[in-house]
């Protein structure tokens, strides 16, 4: 979930570069994310994401609120979440940790650094390197 197109490109690039075979669904704001969750909830055939990359500074509904909602949906209770954010604040890190996230990736301002998101995701998904995100 990412509202910034520039970052969406970089995330795609990092995942592609890490050779992860995944269906990548992008939602651009908090309410859209909730909608996505709801529809997935109602449709048993809808895919359950293996991993959610979550930007905290989302329009309409911020990342923390979304995380709370997410944990209230039974199907997603165990979904892996990696927070991807430009915030380096202690407060945000602690809030995220409290809601049970698998990783915290601070968006760097260096291209090469950004590409390190790929190996991180890959490590979380396991060796197969494919799934829904």
41-60 residues in contact with other proteins (CB under 8 A) are 57
Q: Is 6 in the site for other proteins (CB under 8 A)?
A: yes
Query: Do strands 103-106 and 51-54 pair parallel, antiparallel, or not at all (unpaired)?
Result: unpaired
10 alpha carbon, distance to own chain's centre: 14
Name which of 40 and 83 has its Cβ closer to other proteins. 83
Nearest-angstrom CA–CA distance, 47 and 123: 21
Name which of 66 and 114 has its Cβ closer to other proteins. 114
Q: Is 62 in the site for other proteins (CB under 8 A)?
A: no
Pick one of 38, 39, 77, 89: the residue that binds other proteins (CB under 8 A).
89
DSSP letter for each residue of 96-131: HHHT--SEEEEPPSSHHHHTTHHHHHHHHH-TT-EE
* Residue numbers at the binding site for other proteins (CB under 8 A): 4, 6-7, 10, 57, 86-87, 89, 107-111, 114
């Amino acid at each position: 979930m990412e509202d910034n197109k520039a970052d969406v490109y970089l995330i795609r690039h990092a995942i592609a570069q890490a050779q992860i075979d995944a269906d990548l669904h992008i939602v651009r704001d908090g309410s859209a994310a909730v909608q996505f969750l709801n529809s997935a909830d109602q449709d048993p055939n809808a895919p359950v994401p293996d991993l959610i990359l979550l930007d905290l500074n989302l329009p309409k509904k911020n990342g923390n609120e979304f995380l709370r909602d997410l944990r209230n949906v039974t199907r997603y209770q165990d979904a892996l979440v990696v927070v991807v954010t430009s915030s380096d604040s202690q407060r945000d890190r602690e809030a995220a940790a409290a809601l049970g996230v698998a990783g915290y990736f601070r968006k760097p301002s260096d291209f090469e650094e950004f590409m390190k998101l790929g190996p991180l995701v890959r490590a979380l998904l396991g060796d197969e390197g494919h799934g829904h995100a």
